[in-house]
């Protein structure tokens, strides 16, 4: 066995999770090695060429506020930006961008390659080397050993990946790429419980063969708004997407050939995501629907490849061709790459702690799709947090755990490790009980202090943020104090009170009693939101505050749940599986009752005092 080096941190897989993890580690001065099976597919967008959307856009903003990279790369690679849900309230606005797949990949690679303390190696890690339940390093397919203080596994869909197209199947990590076979067994050998999920992709079409005149173009916002707080302006040319629809003829082809679909013939065993069903599923489950949307999304500025969003399928190639050609605009379309289903191994995430470290192996962290999630944004968020927490662990510091009231990232990780997931987990705003606090617009207010404290957020951005915060607070104070008489009323009211009225916007304040400071549109919007939502925000803050109290009741890692008499078998087994870190987390495990929490609380207190007595004696 050849030993090539010793690193503080080894990251396995250079997808969206791996890149964030490796960058976080290296930027904070830790020697880091990033392994990838293929150097040319660093930060590859495996599925749709888009970043963001509802709740996902929120995640990207949070990553940015903590000092991660995804937002900046998206801004550099973005070819269409749209703020979604503008007709609804600001808590559920969310940015979505179409990105140039190649630009995205190269832009991230450039960042990774220019990062100090970061080595990048093309090799397949086959084995995690562990001694006495503690990570020591990794062994690659070339038989090389790399020592590591902590290992972060971010392998996406590559673990025992198996691609299905029709009734054909073959091992692959993504279409055209090698899977990782040994590592999955290594993880299993360490005692981790592994499950199997599947996901589906649509065919990619050749623009030369598409008649766009039969479709509806959809342009992005003008001017495009960036994701990152540090991006001044989007400079790429912007492109439209095109909307077309399936029809009864399309549906008939699918119905008649279900036995040739890998999903419907029972060949794919893994569980797929309900929010991203194959076209086969859509047609079978909603037979009354006359048509389904198909979005033709550009894969990039310099390519003719279009992504047929909406037709996720695992039908055989010939059927894909026939069904595509029933769709207006696609009558003569040529498929450049067929759609496929992929099955892959994941690790049941209830085996992780809040810092994304496995409970059974010290120093082994998992992030991204390996934890049963789907989506680039969910992966990147975990990667960033795993990177940060691996470092904090090496330094012997307290982990960075974001609360459910602080960030979607907090909701994401807490959900995964507390509830597990029965399908690839995607973030929705409905998962956040404090949705009004977790807005797209205030990610900086929520998280930049933390990002700066850790050392990932640049000084310049942070100073800009502080200035914005100062101006916002001052203006909030001013409008509280300034009173004017609104026409048609008989007494003075503060500007703040007036702004609470549904028909009044900040523009009214600007016109009637403007600030003498220069306020950016962002600040004005912030003030409007904070004032208009005030009552609700406070209500949610109070709830969060109360929750914090029970989160403070810690449960030790080796707590013996069988010592709590009176718990039902079901509750006991759930508690033993999840081993919650505190009573708050325990109370969120499905099926754990308030009475069980009371029993737990009293028993913990009892044990604490007993050990206290011993200590004194």
Partner 1 sequence: MFHDDTIAAISTPFGEGGIGIVRLSGRDSIKIVEKIFTSPKNKSLKDLGSNRVIYGHIKDPLTGEEIDEVLVTVMRSPYTYTREDVVEINCHGGMVTLRKTLELVLKEGARLAEPGEFTKRAFINGRIDLSQAEAVLDLIRSKTDESRRIAIEQLQGGLSEKITALRDRLKELCAYLEAYIDFPEDDIEIASKEDMLESMKEIGTELQKLLKTYDEARFFREGLSTAIVGRPNVGKSSLLNALLRKDRAIVTELPGTTRDVIEEYLNIDGLPLRIMDTAGIRNVQDIAEKEGVKRSLQSIENADLVIAIFDGSEHLSDEDFEVMEKIKGKNAIIVMNKCDLPSVFDKDMFASCVLHHASCILQISATRGDGLEELKDRIFESCLKDWKEGRDGVLVTNLRHKIAIENALASLERAISGFLEDKPLEIIALELRDSLDRLGEIVGAVTTEDILENIFKNFCIGK
Member of 88, 208, 481, 569 binding partner 1 (CB under 8 A): 88
Q: How many CB atoms lie within 10 A of CB 88?
A: 9
Instruction: Give ∠ CA 274-279-281 in degrees, rounded to 5.
Output: 50
Q: Which two tokens stand for residue 61?
A: 């903003």
Kindly state whether residue 435 participates in binding partner 1, applying the rule CB under 8 A. Answer: yes
What is the chain's percent helix, strand, coil content, to nearest 5? 40, 20, 40
Member of 85, 209, 322, 505 binding partner 1 (CB under 8 A): 85
User: Of the two residues 427 and 456, which places its CB atom closer to partner 1 in the complex?
Assistant: 427
Stretch touching partner 1 by CB under 8 A, among 20-28, 86-94, 126-134, 349-357: 86-94
In the complex, the smallest distance separating the C-beta of residue 540 from partner 1, rounded to whole angstroms, is 8
| 222: exposed, middle or buried (Cβ count in 10 Å: 0-12, 13-18, 19+) | exposed
Kindly state whether residue 239 participates in binding partner 1, applying the rule CB under 8 A. Answer: no
In the complex, the smallest distance separating the C-beta of residue 465 from partner 1, rounded to whole angstroms, is 25
Q: Give per-residue burial for 49-69: e unless 16+ CB within 10 Å, then b.
A: bbbbbbbbbbbbbbbbbbbbb
Q: What's the N-to-C CA distance of the chain in angstroms? A: 52
Interface mask toward partner 1 for 533-552; x: CB under 8 A: ---x---------xx-xx--
Radius of gyration of the chain (CA): 26
Member of 285, 477, 534, 576 binding partner 1 (CB under 8 A): 285
User: Of the two residues 547 and 555, which places its CB atom closer to partner 1 in the complex?
Assistant: 547
Member of 566, 570, 573, 576 binding partner 1 (CB under 8 A): 566
User: Of the two residues 57 and 67, which places its CB atom closer to partner 1 in the complex?
Assistant: 57
Stretch touching partner 1 by CB under 8 A, among 22-30, 272-280, 330-338, 380-388: 272-280
Member of 18, 49, 52, 53 binding partner 1 (CB under 8 A): 53
Residue with tokens 């662990």: 393
Stretch touching partner 1 by CB under 8 A, among 188-196, 284-292, 335-343, 376-384: 284-292
Q: Which two tokens stand for residue 304?
A: 């003719």
Member of 428, 486, 508, 559 binding partner 1 (CB under 8 A): 428
Stretch touching partner 1 by CB under 8 A, among 84-92, 143-151, 484-492, 517-525: 84-92
User: Distance between CA atoms of 231 and 75, rounded to whole angstroms?
Assistant: 7
In the complex, the smallest distance separating the C-beta of residue 590 from partner 1, rounded to whole angstroms, is 6
Contact in structure between 603 and 563 (CB atoms under 8 Å): yes
Kindly state whether residue 556 participates in binding partner 1, applying the rule CB under 8 A. Answer: no
Smallest Cα–Cα separation from 239: which of 264, 258, 217? 217
Beta strand residue intervals within 405-541, DSSP E: 483-485, 492-494
Kindly state whether residue 569 participates in binding partner 1, applying the rule CB under 8 A. Answer: no
User: Distance between CA atoms of 229 and 221, rounded to whole angstroms?
Assistant: 18
Member of 419, 464, 483, 500 binding partner 1 (CB under 8 A): 419
Contact in structure between 161 and 46 (CB atoms under 8 Å): no
User: Distance between CA atoms of 192 and 420, rounded to whole angstroms?
Assistant: 14
Site for partner 1 in 501-530 (CB under 8 A): 502
What Å distances lie between residue 313 and 277, 286, 343, 451, CA to CA? Answer: 9, 16, 13, 40
User: Of the two residues 11 and 381, which places its CB atom closer to partner 1 in the complex?
Assistant: 381
Q: Which two tokens stand for residue 3?
A: 């030993």
CA atoms within 13 A on the CB side of 378: 24
User: Of the two residues 503 and 511, which places its CB atom closer to partner 1 in the complex?
Assistant: 503
Contact in structure between 70 and 63 (CB atoms under 8 Å): yes
Contact in structure between 453 and 105 (CB atoms under 8 Å): no
User: Distance between CA atoms of 347 and 523, rounded to whole angstroms?
Assistant: 43
User: Of the two residues 12 and 412, which places its CB atom closer to partner 1 in the complex?
Assistant: 412
User: Of the two residues 146 and 533, which places its CB atom closer to partner 1 in the complex?
Assistant: 533
Kindly state whether residue 54 participates in binding partner 1, applying the rule CB under 8 A. Answer: yes
Kindly state whether residue 590 participates in binding partner 1, applying the rule CB under 8 A. Answer: yes
Interface mask toward partner 1 for 163-202; x: CB under 8 A: ----------------------------------------
Kindly state whether residue 309 participates in binding partner 1, applying the rule CB under 8 A. Answer: yes
Member of 276, 391, 437, 527 binding partner 1 (CB under 8 A): 276
User: Of the two residues 431 and 464, which places its CB atom closer to partner 1 in the complex?
Assistant: 431
Smallest Cα–Cα separation from 551: which of 610, 597, 612, 607? 597
Kindly state whether residue 598 participates in binding partner 1, applying the rule CB under 8 A. Answer: yes
Member of 282, 404, 405, 524 binding partner 1 (CB under 8 A): 282
Interface mask toward partner 1 for 376-415; x: CB under 8 A: ----------------------------------------
In the complex, the smallest distance separating the C-beta of residue 32 from partner 1, rounded to whole angstroms, is 36
Stretch touching partner 1 by CB under 8 A, among 175-183, 380-388, 510-518, 590-598: 590-598
User: Distance between CA atoms of 380 and 43, rounded to whole angstroms?
Assistant: 10
Kindly state whether residue 615 participates in binding partner 1, applying the rule CB under 8 A. Answer: no
Q: Give per-residue burial for 467-503: e unless 16+ CB within 10 Å, then b.
A: ebbebbeebeebbeebeeebeeeeeebebbebbeeee
Stretch touching partner 1 by CB under 8 A, among 327-335, 385-393, 432-440, 461-469: 432-440
What Å distances lie between residue 495 and 248, 351, 449, 530, CA to CA? Answer: 57, 52, 30, 13
Kindly state whether residue 286 participates in binding partner 1, applying the rule CB under 8 A. Answer: yes
Q: Which neighbouring-strand residues pair with 152? A: 11, 365
- DSSP state for residue 554 in the 8-state scheme: B
Kindly state whether residue 500 participates in binding partner 1, applying the rule CB under 8 A. Answer: no
Q: Which neighbouring-strand residues pair with 36? A: 122
Member of 61, 198, 292, 468 binding partner 1 (CB under 8 A): 292
Member of 289, 397, 507, 517 binding partner 1 (CB under 8 A): 289
Q: How many CB atoms lie within 10 A of CB 248?
A: 11
In the complex, the smallest distance separating the C-beta of residue 288 from partner 1, rounded to whole angstroms, is 10
Number of residues counted as binding partner 1 (CB under 8 A)? 56
Residue ranges binding partner 1 (CB under 8 A): 53-55, 84-85, 88-92, 274-277, 281-282, 285-286, 289, 292-293, 295, 309-310, 312, 419, 428-431, 433, 435-436, 502, 536, 546-547, 549-550, 565-566, 587, 590, 594-595, 597-599, 601-603, 605-606, 609-610, 613
């Amino acid at each position: 066995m050849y030993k090539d080096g010793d690193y503080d941190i080894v990251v396995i897989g250079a997808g969206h999770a791996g890149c964030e993890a490796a960058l976080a580690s290296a930027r904070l001065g830790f020697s880091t090695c990033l392994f990838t099976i293929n150097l040319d597919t660093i930060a590859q967008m495996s599925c749709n060429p888009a970043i963001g959307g509802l709740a996902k856009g929120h995640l990207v903003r949070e990553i940015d506020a903590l000092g991660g990279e995804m937002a900046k790369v998206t801004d550099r690679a973005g070819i269409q930006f749209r703020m979604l849900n503008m007709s609804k309230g600001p808590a559920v606005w969310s940015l979505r961008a179409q990105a140039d797949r190649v630009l995205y990949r190269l832009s991230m690679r450039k960042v990774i390659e220019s990062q100090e303390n970061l080595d990048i190696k093309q090799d397949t890690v086959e084995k995690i080397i562990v001694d006495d339940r503690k990570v020591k390093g990794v062994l690659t397919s070339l038989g090389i050993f790399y020592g590591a203080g902590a290992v972060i596994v971010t392998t996406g869909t590559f673990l025992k990946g198996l691609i299905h197209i029709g009734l054909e199947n073959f091992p692959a990590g993504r279409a055209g790429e090698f899977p990782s076979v040994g590592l999955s067994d290594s993880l299993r050998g360490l005692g981790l419980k592994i499950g199997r999920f599947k996901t589906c992709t649509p065919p990619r079409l050749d623009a030369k063969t598409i008649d766009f005149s039969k479709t509806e173009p959809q342009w992005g916002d003008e001017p495009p708004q960036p994701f990152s707080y540090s991006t001044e302006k989007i400079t790429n040319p912007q492109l439209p997407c095109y909307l077309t629809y399936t029809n009864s003829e399309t549906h008939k082809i699918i119905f008649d050939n279900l036995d040739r679909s890998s999903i419907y013939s029972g060949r794919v065993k893994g569980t797929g995501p309900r929010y991203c069903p194959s076209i086969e599923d859509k047609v079978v489950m909603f037979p009354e629907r006359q048509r389904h949307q198909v979005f033709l999304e550009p894969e990039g500025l310099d390519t003719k490849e279009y992504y047929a969003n909406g037709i996720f399928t695992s039908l055989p190639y010939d059927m894909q061709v026939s069904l595509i050609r029933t769709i207006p605009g696609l009558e003569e379309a040529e498929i450049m790459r067929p759609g496929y289903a992929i099955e892959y191994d994941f690790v049941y995430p209830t085996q992780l702690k809040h810092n994304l470290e496995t409970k059974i192996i010290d120093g082994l962290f998992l992030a991204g799709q390996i934890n049963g999630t789907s989506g680039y944004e969910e992966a990147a968020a975990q990667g960033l947090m795993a990177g940060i927490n691996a470092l904090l662990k090496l330094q012997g510091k307290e982990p960075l755990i974001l609360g459910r009231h602080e960030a979607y990232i907090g909701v994401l990780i807490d959900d995964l490790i507390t509830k597990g997931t029965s399908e690839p987990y995607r973030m929705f705003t409905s998962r956040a009980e404090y949705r009004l606090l977790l807005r797209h617009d205030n990610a900086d207010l929520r998280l930049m202090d933390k990002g700066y404290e850790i050392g990932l957020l640049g000084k310049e951005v942070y100073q800009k943020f502080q200035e914005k915060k100062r101006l916002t607070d001052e203006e909030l104070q001013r409008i509280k104090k300034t009173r004017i008489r609104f026409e048609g009323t008989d007494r003075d009211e503060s500007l703040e009170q007036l702004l609470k009225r549904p028909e009044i916007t900040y523009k009214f304040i600007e016109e009637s009693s403007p600030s003498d400071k220069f306020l950016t549109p962002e600040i004005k919007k912030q003030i409007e939101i904070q004032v208009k939502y005030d009552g609700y925000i406070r209500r949610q803050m109070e709830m969060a505050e109360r929750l914090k109290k029970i989160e403070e009741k810690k449960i030790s890692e080796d707590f013996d749940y069988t010592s709590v008499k009176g718990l039902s078998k079901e509750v006991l087994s759930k508690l033993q599986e999840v081993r919650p870190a505190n009573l708050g987390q325990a109370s969120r495990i499905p099926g754990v009752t308030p009475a069980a929490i009371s029993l737990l609380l009293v028993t913990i207190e009892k044990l604490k005092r007993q050990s206290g007595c011993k200590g004194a004696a």
